[in-house]
Amino acid sequence: MPVNPATYGLLLSPDLVRAAARVRRRRERVRGLLVSAGTALVLAGLLAIPLFLLAGLLPWQGLPDDAWRRLGVLAAGSLRAAACAVLVAVPLGVATALFSAHFCAARLRAWLKPALETLEAVPTVVLGLVATATLAPWLKVNVATLLALIVALPALLLALAFAFGGRVRRDGWLPLWLLPLLVAAIAIGSAIAARSGTVAIMPSSPWNAVLVGLALGCAALPLVFSVAEDALFLVPREQTQAAFALGATRWQALTSVLLPAAGSGLLAAALLGVSRCLGETMIVLMASGNTPIAGFDPLTGLRAVSAELALTLPDTAPAGATYISLLLAALALLVLTALLNRLAEAVRERLRRRLGGQPA
Amino acid sequence: MISRRVDAAGTWLLAGSAALSVAAILGLLGMLAIAGIAPFWPTPISELHLRDGRVLLGEVVAADDAAIALRTSETDRVGAAYRRVLKADILSRTQPADAVVAVLADGRRLFGRGEAALPTQAEAPVEVLGLERPNAAGLLARSLGFARALGRFVATAPDAANLSGGVLPALIGTVTLVLLMSIVAMPLGIAAAVYLHQRRGWGARCVRAAVNMLAGVPSIVYGVLGLGLFVHGLGAGIDRWFYAERLPVPTFGSGGLLWAALTLALLTLPVVVVSIEEGLARIPASLREGSLALGATRDETLWYLILPAARPALLTGLVLAIARAAGAVAPLMLVGVVKLAPTLPLDGTFPYLHPSRQFMHLGFEVYDAALASADAIRGVPRAYACAALLVAVVVALNLSAILLRNRLRDRYRALES
């Protein structure tokens, strides 16, 4: 290789090589230090949450009885709200995911997923506003309508399916046809209720667990949907196609192949939904009335743990009995949601390992 | 064919559920768009002649079967001139063309037939922002009035009672908070993701466990930490050391922008770390191997090759962080959001950004206007307007980051294929 001996010699000069290596190593060390320091900060910040809550509980001298009773009422409120919300979010979310994964036209699915992600991006305070300002006046006079719709809508769908089910060819687009029908059914139901003039079921408070459940259910719906859909898409297509080849209808393929394979994923979706509902604050704060009432009646108001934290903690003196009981509530919330998430994650991990072996 | 019948029934039931989900989304967005925009459209002024001979002039704000609610001239204070009139008592209801409404700087509205007939402003004279004649206005003039009202809402400060006027301070507070949160969270998130990408030891396992454990923890719990540790702990400490001369009055020892930004940064970190780490892992191995083969160290490969190539993933992390932070209102209620802040956290006096100040936030405005407003008839439309603006801000922040990501992704697509 014809190389100018002068430069060649310089390039190979051991001093220069060593100097360059030193610069490289120093840069490397600085970057490594920065990364470690940043990570340490992240770790410290994240671990600070449980540690701080535990440290706050250290001056523990037992809580007075009424503090325990209050915590019990709050926990009951949170559970009642979460139960109502889960009853909305899980059936709706899982059914939507099943439709999207198994029946849906590909082009409709390309719209359905972003639409639900949009719902996820809507701040929950907005859902709380809609619940308290628009839904509450409707629900106050329409509890009976809501009950009737819960019974009538599936019945209507079944009747339609038996009447026209065989004839509709492209039922991948069915939701769009059903959309105006459902809206019309809801509008007709409210109109009948308004015409009758009397209120069949009067809730004891316009802000009640049913209202919270409707709004909170909408908030948890996208999460349940996306987790359930992910699980369903993990099932290899060959399995359902094999079922079709053996003469199964889509419903039979769903119940005999898809559900047994991805059922645990749907369970994980439900668990994550519960965890989300337990900790959500703004919706319960705005739509529950914040009245500490225990019991199982879904038509009375409630006060949830998260709402109590948001309302009471800023004005509470540190280290008092109230403060400690609130820290205890926060810790319980943290542990419960972390456990539920962990459990759901473990279930999903197992599912992924079982189904992810062969590429879907 | 029973199985076919069952198939159809199942399909229709599931399709009905999907339709219900879509209906919920469309209903929510439609509600927001309509109820958020409607308050700015000029309302006509009605004149009611009653059976007892009285004549009332004002805006109809609500109506049911038996009665209507009317907002008449607010001569002493905002929200103090609502009248409920039974429909049976009304002889006639007209919309006179010469009716004028005067909008005062403190949010009051005065009505009259012609400018001369406007009620005089009793004691303290207040600046008149504008005179409007909604009844005589054509479509163009109404649209102009609508645009003016919308502009006033976005670009001016609220009046003293926070019932009318604009939400500029809340808008600035929201955007400043989100930007400050990103400035804190992104470097830390990148550092932790790089660490997780490089190392496999117990340190990495600890970080991973912490991130996984705290990813789904409710935001209010972060708020509790922000209040207890940042405000009562760090803030009070800073006050004792540096601001002792002011002490009974807290400087950093009460909620403020800095603590709120730190709380939100902590809230978003798990999401940021996970998404960036996934992005780093997706960079093709061939790129890494090529770089190593040319003599670069692992570290140099990471910093000069993989991180730049993973820029779309970094932006995805930022998008997720912004979406989560802009919607989180509950923790802010514990760490310094207020209904009405006297000063902005961002202004023209040195050092321009005041991290210890309390701030206003659009999400909290929604909550406050809907539930704690002194004038419920103004509060709920105002809450809807704030909600629409908040969603617009979230969507705008998201969209800009997504567009940036897509541009970068196009540039790096050649590498990824």
DSSP string, A218-264: HHHHHHHHHHHHHHHHHS-HHHHHHHHHTT--HHHHIIIIIHHHHHH
Q: Residue B191's pLDDT is what?
A: 95
**Cross-chain Cβ contact B17/A92 below 8 Å:** yes
**CA–CA gap between residue B411 and residue B416 (Å, rounded):** 10
**Cross-chain Cβ contact A333/B218 below 8 Å:** yes
Residue A118 has pLDDT above 50, yes or no: yes
Residue of A nearest to B6 (CA): A251
Selected residue of A87, A103, A282 to mutate for chain B interface (largest B Cβ count, 10 A): A282
**Cross-chain Cβ contact A100/B35 below 8 Å:** no
- Please identify which residue in the block is written with the tokens 């500490």: A292
The residue ranges of DSSP E strands in B133-287, in sequence order, are: none
According to DSSP, the residues that pair with B353 across neighbouring strands are: B346
Q: Please say whether the beta carbons of A162 and B6 come within 8 A.
A: no
User: Which of A42, A161, A171 has the CB atom closest to B273's CB atom?
Assistant: A42
Tell me the chain A residues in contact with residue B221 when contact means C-beta distances shorter than 8 Å.
49, 279, 330, 333-334, 337
A155-159 contacts at long range (C-beta below 8 A, 24 or more positions apart): A156/A181, A156/A185, A157/B12, A157/B13, A157/B15, A157/B16, A158/B9, A158/B12, A158/B13
**CA–CA gap between residue A195 and residue A191 (Å, rounded):** 6
Q: Distance, in angstroms, between B266 CA and closest chain A CA?
A: 7
Q: Please say whether the beta carbons of B128 and B104 come within 8 A.
A: yes
Q: Please say whether the beta carbons of A221 and A89 come within 8 A.
A: yes
| Range with the poorest average pLDDT among A102-106, A179-183, A301-305, B249-253 | B249-253
How much is the pTM? 0.90
According to DSSP, the residues that pair with B92 across neighbouring strands are: B49
Q: Which of B319, B322, B315 is nearest to B405 (CA)?
A: B315
Longest CA–CA span in chain A (Å) reads 105
Residue A6 has pLDDT above 70, yes or no: no
Q: List chain B residues with pLDDT less than 50.
A: none
* Cβ atoms within 10 Å of B73's Cβ, excluding its own: 18
Q: Residue B263's pLDDT is what?
A: 95
Rg of the Cα atoms in chain A: 28
Q: Which of B66, B164, B371 is nearest to A310 (CA)?
A: B371
Tell me the chain A residues in contact with residue B64 when contact means C-beta distances shorter than 8 Å.
none
Amino acid at B38: A
Residue of A nearest to B322 (CA): A121
Selected residue of A26, A281, A312, A324 to mutate for chain B interface (largest B Cβ count, 10 A): A281
Tell me the chain B residues in contact with residue A182 when contact means C-beta distances shorter than 8 Å.
16, 19-20, 23
Q: What is the pLDDT of residues B295-345, one digit of tens each?
A: 888 888 988 989 988 888 888 888 888 888 888 899 999 998 888 877 777
Q: Distance, in angstroms, between A127 CA and closest chain B CA?
A: 8
Q: What is the pLDDT of residues A258-280, one digit of tens each?
A: 999 999 999 999 999 999 999 89
- pLDDT tier, A359 (very low <50, low <70, confident <90, very high otherwise): very low
Residue A1 has pLDDT above 60, yes or no: no
**CA–CA gap between residue A81 and residue A208 (Å, rounded):** 9
H-helix segments, B328-372: 330-334, 362-371
**Cross-chain Cβ contact A330/B221 below 8 Å:** yes
**ipTM of the complex, rounded to two decimals:** 0.89
H helix and E strand count, chain B? 14, 8
Chain B, residues 352-391, CB within 8 A of chain A, namely 363-364, 366-367, 370-371, 380, 383-384, 387, 390-391
Residue of B nearest to A323 (CA): B228
Chain CA centroid to CA B203, Å: 38
Q: Which residues of A28-59 are buried (b: 16+ CB within 10 A; e: fewer)?
A: eeebeeebeebbbbbbebbbbbbebbeebeee
Q: Residue B73's pLDDT is what?
A: 86
Chain B, residues 117-146, CB within 8 A of chain A, namely none
**CA–CA gap between residue B208 and residue B205 (Å, rounded):** 5
Q: What is the pLDDT of residues A313-328, one digit of tens each?
A: 988 888 788 888 999 9
Tell me the chain B residues in contact with residue A276 when contact means C-beta distances shorter than 8 Å.
216
- pLDDT tier, A59 (very low <50, low <70, confident <90, very high otherwise): confident
Q: What is the pLDDT of residues A203-223, one digit of tens each?
A: 888 899 999 999 999 999 999
